Structure 1
Amino acid sequence: MAAAGARSSLLAWIQRLRGGHVTGLRGGSGSRYIRSHVLKESALLQKGLVLSSLSLLAIGSYRWKNRQAVVYASIKVDDVKEQADYLYGSGETEKLYEFLSQYGDSNDAEILWRLSRASRDLAQLSKTAPEDKKRLVYESRDLAKKALEINESCFAAHKWYAICLSDVGDYEGMKVKIGNAYIIRDHFQRAIELNPKDATTIHLIGVWCYMFADLPWYQKKIASALFATPPSSTFDEALVYFEMAEEVDPNFYSKNLLYLGKTFLKLKNNEQALLWLHKAKDYPVRTEEDKEVYKEATDILKSLGVKV
């Protein structure tokens, strides 16, 4: 309601200026100058370049010259984010990376974490060459880290830095991977503090718990030799996060359904395991990851003697 009222007031204010009824400025070059700029701003609104009405009202307190610069800078950043989100939602991984790469020197955390995500997604494609995959993995980590340095309060920067740091561990050995585990967990937890409604981050904490609960005995032995207090968790703890992710956003992610099934299997609850494994198998296949989930869920069900 407040935004609608602000928008109505703004449009009425613009109409008054367009009609030349400006208190304190009667005719002359000043009136013509203001009216010309108001016409430009009105045209921008009519073209659908979306800016918050409240933000425009606040900007109105600046001088016209400064106001114009701030508005155009804001439009550019907003347009980049809007286009990036559209390409991401459309599954256009390569186009998204190509589009965002031109903004790699940006000082906007929202753009940088999106580019970090795009770099990682491109690295995950099966057709990406191994040497390109490694370069993209490190690039994605560095971009997320830069986003964090710019804005520590950006939940998505924490989320993607943790994800990308985990990917880097695949290239740097078990010691580094385990050593980074606490850092990864802490960034996931910080992301949840900043945005408790992001089901993906909650799911990823669950994966962290599952991974260390399921660590083979020899890796646990290596971890104990390297660290005084190596990371550890339980399947019960992992289950809490997977169930929490479903509560926040039901059936949001095929892999969360799969992990629920696998975790219930580990806890010897076959009835619940079958329920979630079937949900994972029946999840609409839209991405390469969905295909992998379908295959794994189907294989597990077959191993349990279920006809699929």
Structure 2
Amino acid sequence: MTGQSTDYLGTKERIQEGGKFKELLDKALAVDAKDFALLHLRGRFAHSVASLSWIERKAAAVFYSEPPTATFEEALEDFLAAYEIKPDWIENLLFISRIYHAKGDKVNAKKFLSKLLALTPNDESEREMQHEAKKLLSKC
């Protein structure tokens, strides 16, 4: 469901891999509920599931008697939990900002975008995230 390894898979394979991924995340978080990276990944999983199109949801229902479900609120909870542990993580701040922006909560979107933009990027990927954050901030 998340990550580059699923980018080139078909819907059926993405859904199957997503189910395995979520199961492993839940097991790992049962061992260490304060692992910020695991919380972020679970948030990404929830974000991906919540973002499924209508047709992808129908496909999931074909492959699973009970397809995975998640909401943007669940994703936000995990991203915010990761933020409490590691507040200076640019990628996590961007996901938080995206959700607040999508919900129409411009105050919180601006708050987290400002935090993100105040940080120094460590690599090209983080510079690209900051570039996206600037575009998103201009829409708030």
Q: TM-score, normalised by structure 2?
A: 0.87
Match of 1:260 in 2: 96
| Structure 1: stretches of 5+ with no match in the other structure | 1-161
In the alignment, does 2:13 pair up with 1:180?
Answer: no
Secondary structure at 2:10 match in 1: helix
Shift of 1:171: 3.2
| Larger relative contact order, structure 1 or 2 (CA cutoff 8 Å, min sep 6) | 2
Whole-Å separation in 1 of the counterparts to 2:81 and 2:129: 20
Whole-Å separation in 2 of the counterparts to 1:288 and 1:186: 32
Secondary structure at 1:280 match in 2: helix
Whole-Å separation in 1 of the counterparts to 2:104 and 2:138: 17
Whole-Å separation in 2 of the counterparts to 1:283 and 1:219: 36
Aligned length: 140
Q: Bigger radius of gyration, 1 or 2?
A: 1
Match of 1:201 in 2: 38
Q: Which amino acid aligns with 1:174?
A: T
Whole-Å separation in 2 of the counterparts to 1:292 and 1:263: 18
The question of whether the paired residues in 2 share the 8 Å contact of 1:281 and 1:293 is answered with no
Whole-Å separation in 2 of the counterparts to 1:281 and 1:216: 31
Runs of 4+ aligned structure 1 residues displaced above 3 Å come to: none
Shift of 1:217: 2.2
For residues 178 and 235 of structure 1, do their structure 2 counterparts lie closer, same or farther at Cα, with a shift above 3 Å needed? same
For residues 187 and 296 of structure 1, do their structure 2 counterparts lie closer, same or farther at Cα, with a shift above 3 Å needed? same
How much is the aligned-residue C-alpha RMSD, in angstroms? 2.0
Secondary structure at 2:19 match in 1: helix
Shift of 1:284: 1.1
Secondary structure at 1:180 match in 2: helix
Q: Which amino acid aligns with 2:69?
A: S
Secondary structure at 1:171 match in 2: coil
Match of 2:131 in 1: 295
Whole-Å separation in 1 of the counterparts to 2:119 and 2:54: 33
Percent of aligned positions that are identical: 27
Secondary structure at 1:172 match in 2: coil
Whole-Å separation in 2 of the counterparts to 1:210 and 1:198: 18
